[in-house]
Structure 1
Amino acid sequence: MELAPELTGVSPTEMRSTLARFATGVVVLTVGGEHMHGMTANAFSSVSLDPPLVLCCVARTATMHGSITAAGHFATSVLRGDQEASARWFADGGRPAGRAQFDRVDWAPGPATGAPVLAGSLAWLECELVDVHEAGDHSVFIGRVLGAGRGDGREGLLFFDGGYRQVDTSERRR
């Protein structure tokens, strides 16, 4: 395999364009209480089953970065295929701040942290912040899962090549 010369040095624009070819799930990260905030993210992953740990990556300049750091907890709602409007809403920098940004979505406070969990999500997790690693212009937040659940629905929301897509999981292949 021969690499094109433009792939040997990577600018932020090239990095974003290249990684757009990697399909990811879409989540909304939330924090409750006095630091209430929500943010659409696709940099989210399982880390460990025992103990149960997950990670999310957040730009250090994002409001969510300060919210997670100050609150010491966060929740993650894994979006269904028909929740694209929620993904777009929590990605919109022009939405209201604080509790008002949740007025357009149905949600309930998570039982462990009080962080908003979006109604209709495929799954949700509530996490206690246990570690933070600085990585370039982002921080990697490690959360210990305090509670989790699965919702109804079979279609997941994906982000691929700069746009939202749906994946139907009703026919599981082995």
Structure 2
Amino acid sequence: MDRPIDSGTYRKVVGRFATGVAIVTTRVADVDHAMTVNSFTSVSLDPLLVLFCAEKVSRFHDAVLEAGAWGVSVLPASMEEASRFFSHRGRPLNGQLAKWAHHRGDSQVALFDEALATVECVTKAVYDGGDHSIVVGQVTALATPGDGPPLLYHDGRYNTF
């Protein structure tokens, strides 16, 4: 039974799966790059591996592959504005982090001070995922700087507990 499935129906169906929201950051030639994701997940405990997916046509995609190191800031509900900002294409790179308190991790990537959790990684593998790349990273540092309800994404909208 080969029925064609259109991308709109696909988005609606997979959008029913609630996810957390994070911002992935990297740094190339002293320039910070950041992107909102809801495709972040744990992969392995031995070794410690996580992954996220980056759209191949985004400038973040090329930056994170070039840098080889990246950070993840898991967002609390209070950071919805940051999530929206870092999900927009074409925003200026210069000063984009200035509005949100952040610090440099061991790998010199930006990590948000209010994050519920932060993870720093080095890229171990990149897999083809259609119009995205699946970027797998080995964890090099972890922290839980903030607390509070998480920012969630479900059915095309931001939510929280």
Query: Could you say what the CA RMSD is over the residues aligned between the two structures, in angstroms?
Result: 1.6
Residues 5-20 of structure 1 aligned to structure 2 (within 5 Å)? 8-20=3-15
Q: Which residue of 1 aligns with 2:18?
A: 23
- Point out 4+ residue stretches in structure 1 off by more than 3 angstroms: none
Alignment map for 1:151-170 (pairs within 5 Å): 151-167=145-161
Offset of 1:15 from its aligned partner?
1.4
The aligned residue for residue 95 of structure 1 is 91
| Contact 2:28 2:66 (8 Å CA) reproduced | no
Return the TM-score normalized by structure 2. Answer: 0.93
TM-score normalised per structure 1: 0.87
Instruction: State how far apart, in whole Å, the 2-side matches of 1:81 and 1:90 are.
Output: 15
Find the counterpart in structure 2 of residue 82 from structure 1.
78
Q: 2:59 aligned with 1:54, yes or no?
A: no
Unaligned runs of 5+ in 1: 168-174
- Structure 2's unaligned 5+ residue stretches are none
CA distance in 1: counterparts of 2:28 and 2:110, whole angstroms: 9
For the pair shown, which has the larger CA radius of gyration, 1 or 2? 1
The separation in 2 between residues aligned to 1:46 and 1:121, in whole angstroms, is 17
CA offsets 1:31-73 (integer angstroms, 9 cap, x no match): 0242520000001100001110000011100111101111011
SS at match of 2:95: helix
Q: Measure how far apart 1:8 and its partner are.
A: 4.1
Percent identity over the alignment? 33
